[in-house]
């Protein structure tokens, strides 16, 4: 069990996110071998359109718009290791384990075939329409 504490920034980014996903994030932080930061939770339609323009998203039907998704990045020596996929996979293992323990069904963007999205976690649409 780690002793990481979710930063105020991360907690603020969880405002209006679905309670089940918040529970997964908090538990995952205790299971993770890396500290991590929630960089985005609920997103406005304007922000979503901007991300599509930048090529960072392919949909206007993002789960971020409804509070059913979060973006989380690991911290290694206080920095985000964008080039270290293993750190993202490690956080994903913690998130998946936490979700299993809590009985919450999630999808990880890192498992996607097109536009793999290492920071992205969302509640499954089948369970959380």
How high is the mean pLDDT in each 10-residue block of the chain (129 residues)? 86 97 97 96 94 87 95 94 94 98 97 89 95
Q: Domains in the chain, ordered, with CATH?
A: 8-123 (3.30.1380.10)
Q: Phi-psi category of 57—alpha, beta or left, where left has phi over 0 and alpha has psi -120 to 50?
A: beta
Question: Burial letters for 59-97: b for 16+ Cβ neighbours within 10 Å, e otherwise?
Answer: eeebbbbbbbbbbbbbbeeeebeeeeeebbebbbebbbe
Q: What is the pLDDT, as a whole number, of residue 56?
A: 82
Q: What is the pLDDT, as a whole number, of residue 28?
A: 97
Rounded distance between C-alpha atoms, residue 52 and residue 105, angstroms? 26
In sequence order, the β-bridge partners of residue 106 are 123
Q: What is the pLDDT, as a whole number, of residue 41?
A: 97
pLDDT tens profile 10-43: 999 999 999 999 999 999 999 999 999 999 999 9
């Amino acid at each position: 069990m780690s002793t990481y504490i979710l930063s105020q920034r991360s907690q603020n980014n969880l405002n209006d996110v679905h309670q089940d996903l918040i529970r997964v994030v908090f538990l995952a932080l205790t299971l993770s071998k890396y500290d991590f930061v929630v960089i985005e939770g609920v997103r406005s339609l304007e922000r979503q359109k901007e991300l599509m323009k930048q090529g960072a998203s392919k949909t206007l039907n993002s789960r971020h718009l409804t509070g059913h998704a979060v973006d989380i990045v690991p911290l290694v020596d206080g920095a985000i290791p964008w080039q270290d996929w293993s750190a993202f996979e490690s956080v994903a293992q913690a998130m998946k384990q936490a979700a299993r323990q809590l009985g919450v069904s999630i999808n990880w963007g890192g498992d996607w075939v097109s536009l793999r999205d290492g920071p992205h976690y969302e509640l499954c649409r089948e369970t959380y329409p």
